[in-house]
Structure 1
Amino acid sequence: MTSPRYRGRFAPTPSGPLHLGSLVMALASWLDARQQQGEWLVRIDDIDPPRETPGAADTILRQLEAFALHWDGQVHYQSQHHEAYQAAVQQLLLQGDAFYCRLSRKDLAALGNVHPGKHLSVSSPEDTAVRLSVPAEALCFDDRFQGRRCFRLDQQEGAFVIRRRDGLFAYQLACAVDDADMAITDVIRGMDLIESTPRQIHLLNCLQRPKPRYGHLPVVLDRSGEKLSKSSGAAAITADQAPVTLQRALAHLGIDVEIDSPEQMLLAAL
């Protein structure tokens, strides 16, 4: 049996333009795909409208093009796939893996922010979140860069939300379902998301869907040692600074290239 052809993806949230840290992760994913003669897809994770910035999705796509990070196929928008997420929620409820819950954040804080599980479920779906039960044992996976990693979801968060009380679908559910529906074989992303991985693996196990391989890389830090982020005001990357910014991003990945053209830089990096 042959392995499926490599399919990677970059999945930014449209809460603002890309900064150096997000460029590094896009670049790492793109290089990994191209080095393996695979496909590289772009997904806009616009599943949470309150967090989105108008025009950010288009800005992100133009930034990727300015840095010669060209994608394959059509851009995938999570906002166009609510039916798939709802079908997954219904499957998990029917299987008994998920349940309705009215626990508030205050209630959860009183429990040490670890949901104790299905015995707190309610029968009516009205004014509830939907949570997914978690195994009472370690969930382990082999990270491509970090090695064997194990997590106890029952001790770290407990049953977690897959559909919010306000009706919005949770990131963990949408991400896992999309990776399966898009036939993604490899997810390359930052270490800040490594704790999401066991939740997404557990979701895919419950849905009986294939799981991608995961690889988590160190994030880019600012001068104070904090992760660069949109929320902390990290500077947006700009097309007029593309060569020098791309050189910095490649250096963060341990690649030394000194060429003025982004296209030639990326060819040399391969």
Structure 2
Amino acid sequence: MTGGSAVAALEIAVTSPAGARTALAHGADRVELCTALELGGLTPSAAVVEAAAAVGPPVHALVRCRPGDFVYDAEEIALMVAEVRSVVASGAAGVVVGALTAGGTLDTDAVARLADAAHDGGRPVDVTLHRAVDQSADPVATAALLLPLGVTRVLSSGGAATAAEGSATLTAMVAAAPGLEVMAGGGVRVTDIPALVGAGVAAVHLSAKHRAEPRRTGIWTPLGAAGTTADEDTHFVTDPALVAAARRALDVRAASLPGRAR
């Protein structure tokens, strides 16, 4: 798949039904839905999943019970199994999961349990391994383990700080796991998209976000950490211009491929 032999999909990370609506309206093929994007993303509530799914785009819900590393104990894994069933019952078309051992290898038992839970509802559900892969000791070897576990996609920066820096490893992951969809994610800028598609990935993932304008008026009292300003005490929202720019970058790349059109 090197050289961009297929038209890549566009996935946008969103935190709300409004974000899903913006992403769909400006060209996203699907969304990854989470909460607490500033913490790397946590499991959204069943109500948020249901409302986002009603907007229209395929919703892939992140299932991550806490921030921090991806090494989970038995109680946390059981909780995430229950969360997988909950988000699927609420209308998610896919789940985004992952777990590692303390030694940095894929926790195959935990990942298999999470994937199995996604299919308990009896309908097709995509299963993506999230960026736990980038904290594994060997992202390429980890990718090669996924299909037999019921995982159909991996989101990765190639083990680097950004997907652009890890593009060579992404290409190696594509080669090591035929049939697995490799999706580039992690610090993706619109200008990176052509090169990432050229590296052979099947999809690109970006948050395409900006800080929301504060809604408050009048006196503002800081809460939490000292030094937080009124402008920082807000949340991230999906930026329509960034989504549209990413869509254009993918379409331009697709148009340059012989016999390809979106």
TM-score, normalising length: structure 2: 0.30
Higher relative contact order (CA 8 A, sep 6+): 1
The structure whose Rg is larger is: 1
TM-score, normalising length: structure 1: 0.29
